[in-house]
């Protein structure tokens, strides 16, 4: 065990001890509809329990409740996919915490509703809880789109950059009254209003990352911000759901895609797009956060205690998400190396052009005031806040994207202490009560 690992485990033990203190402080609220939480949307009937309550206390609260089955649509394509642990974690936590009173039917591969239909499926009860991509519907989710655009300049290193940026984004999302209000108006309950699915990189079939290279390329995009960035690079933006991108690259329908590494690895993109490029941190590709975890009418109709169990599952969900991203990044680099590919920084002229485009995008966000004023300043403060937390908890990384397959070891990282602090400082006030 390294000194860094020793420090991480020591910090983890201290955080666990703090959780015991919190549990003792909150125990008096168990069995009531008060306890921790600030009356988040979707509050149900019956008694609730305090965040951090013992399993015995939870069992007592749910003892007289009828068993239920909920349908959860996971984000992964299959139960064996790289991103599947998020779905497995949700099912295991909810079923165990409810003492088996809640059964979770997990569906994969958007088999009930495609990403463009998830809002409707949650509203009409076909799905009770789902991972969603509001970024695909900017007209219906303007605040989400604006906040995603504001991620320009986020840290973009393969482990620390991902977790810090993810935490900053979750913090900003829970703090956005406008974003939460739009969910409410649409009959949706945010369980995690916004969560990062990883840093975006450029992946192309041909080498070259200068402005001359991008000129005339057909580039698949994942957000409105990407559309403007690709256009300013001289390319032609193409909108495709990620499940369609592999075939488009294989057939030459598109030349490049703006992608996150875990998604690229899961769909095999790096077998056909073997030339990867990342930007500098100050000029990072916008729109890095695409996802959200949402509850629908079925969730809202559940008893309060069941709602709280589902809501609380996202403490571990954040840790699982960061683990999936880090491991997905490493596996993607492995896949790239096996395919004989290359990864490196974007050429300076293209990187600078993206930075200039980001300035324009951020100016538009500020002018619209869709998510308030001084968005850049607030985002920078959130990034710095969670950078300090990560440093205090002892998280480090030993290299970059290029050699991640050599230095990254998943066993060196326990994201739970960081996730617990993120949940308590951002989500807890919105817990159903």
Which three-class secondary structure string do you get for 5-22? HHHHHHHHHHHHHHHHHH
Give, rounded to a whole angstrom, the gap between the first and last alpha carbons of the chain: 43
| C-alpha pair distances (Å), 199 with each of 152, 239, 277, 284, 290 | 10, 19, 11, 8, 10
Q: Give the span between the Cα atoms of 86 and 17, in whole angstroms.
A: 26
Query: Which strand (E) or helix (H) includes residue 174?
Result: helix 160-174
Give the chain's domains with CATH numbers: 38-196+285-346+381-428 (3.40.190.170)
d(CA 260, CA 158): 11
Task: Give 341-372 pLDDT, tens digit per residue.
Answer: 999 999 999 999 999 999 999 999 999 999 99
Residue 394 region by backbone torsions, left for phi larger than 0, else alpha for psi between -120 and 50, else beta? left
Three-class SS of 280-342: CHHHCCCCCCCEEEEECHHHHCCCHHHHHHHHHHHHHHHHHHHHHHHHHHHHHHHHHHHCCCE
What's the confidence (pLDDT) of residue 286?
A: 64
Asked whether residue 21 carries a pLDDT value surpassing 90, the answer given is: no
413-428 burial: b if 16+ Cβ within 10 Å, else e: bbbbbbbbbbbbbbbb
Dihedral (CA of 228, 233, 237, 243) sign: negative
Neighbouring CB atoms inside 10 A of 66's CB total 8
Interval 107-128 mean pLDDT:
95
Q: How many CB atoms lie within 10 A of CB 148?
A: 28
Of 10-24, 189-203, 217-231, the poorest mean pLDDT is in: 10-24
The pLDDT score that the predictor gives to residue 289 is 60
* CA quadruple 130, 271, 274, 229: dihedral, nearest 10: -30
Q: Please state the separation of Cα 53 from the chain's center in Å.
A: 26
DSSP 8-state secondary structure symbol assigned to residue 42:
T
Q: CB under 8 Å to 79, separation ≥6 — which residues? A: 87, 88, 106, 108
Mean pLDDT value across the chain: 87
Name residue, tokens 């749910």.
62
Beta strands in 232-285 (DSSP E): 236-239, 256-260, 275-278
Model confidence band, residue 288 (pLDDT cutoffs 50, 70, 90): low
Helix, strand and coil in the chain, % to nearest 5: 50, 10, 35
More confident residue, 274 or 240: 274
Sign of CA dihedral 129, 162, 320, 422: negative
Please give the structure tokens belonging to residue 188. Answer: 């949706």
Query: Is the model's pLDDT at 82 over the cut of 70?
Result: yes
Instruction: Return phi, psi of residue 275, to 5°.
Output: -120, 105
pLDDT band at 33 (very low <50, low <70, confident <90, very high): very low
Q: Check residue 412 and report its DSSP letter.
A: G
Q: Compute the distance between CA of residue 293 and CA of residue 379 in angstroms, rounded to an integer.
A: 21
Average pLDDT, integer, range 265-287: 87
């Amino acid at each position: 065990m390294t000194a860094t690992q020793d420090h991480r485990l020591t910090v983890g033990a201290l955080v666990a001890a703090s959780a015991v203190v919190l549990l003792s402080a909150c125990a008096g609220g168990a069995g009531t509809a008060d306890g921790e939480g600030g009356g988040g949307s979707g509050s149900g009937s019956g008694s609730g329990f305090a965040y951090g309550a013992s399993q015995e206390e939870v069992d007592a609260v749910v003892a007289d409740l009828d068993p239920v089955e909920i349908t959860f649509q996971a984000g992964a394509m299959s139960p064996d996919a790289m991103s599947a642990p998020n779905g497995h974690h949700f099912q295991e936590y909810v079923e165990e915490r409810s003492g088996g009173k809640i059964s979770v039917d997990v569906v994969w591969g958007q088999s009930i509703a495609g990403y463009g239909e998830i809002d409707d499926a949650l509203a009409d009860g076909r799905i009770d809880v789902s991972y969603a991509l509001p970024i695909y519907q900017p007209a219906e989710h303007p605040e989400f789109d604006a906040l995603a655009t504001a991620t320009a300049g986020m840290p973009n290193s393969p482990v620390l950059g991902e977790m810090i940026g993810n935490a900053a984004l979750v913090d900003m999302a829970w703090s956005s009254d406008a974003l939460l209000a739009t969910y409410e108006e649409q009959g949706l309950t945010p369980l995690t209003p916004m969560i990062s699915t990883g840093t975006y990189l450029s992946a192309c079939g041909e080498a070259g990352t200068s402005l001359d290279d991008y000129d005339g390329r057909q580039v698949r995009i994942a957000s409105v911000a990407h559309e403007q960035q690709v256009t300013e690079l001289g390319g032609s933006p193409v909108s495709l759901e990620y499940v369609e991108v592999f075939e488009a690259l294989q057939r030459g329908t598109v030349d490049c895609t703006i992608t996150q590494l875990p998604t690229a690895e899961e769909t095999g993109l790096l077998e056909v797009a073997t030339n990867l490029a990342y930007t500098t941190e100050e000029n990072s590709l916008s729109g890095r956060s695409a996802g959200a975890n949402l509850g629908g009418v079925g969730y809202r109709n559940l008893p309060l205690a069941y709602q709280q169990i589902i809501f609380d599952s996202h403490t571990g969900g954040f840790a699982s998400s960061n683990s999936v991203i880090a491991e997905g990044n490493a596996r993607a680099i492995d896949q790239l190396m096996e395919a004989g590919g290359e990864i490196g920084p974007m050429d300076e002229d293209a990187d600078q052009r993206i930075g200039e485009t980001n300035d324009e995008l951020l100016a538009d966000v500020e002018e619209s005031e869709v998510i308030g004023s001084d968005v850049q300043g607030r985002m920078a403060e959130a990034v710095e806040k969670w950078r300090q937390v990560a440093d205090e908890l002892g998280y480090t990384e030993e290299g970059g994207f290029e050699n991640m397959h050599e230095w990254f070891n998943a066993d060196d990282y326990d994201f739970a202490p960081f996730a617990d602090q993120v949940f308590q400082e951002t989500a807890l006030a919105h817990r159903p009560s």
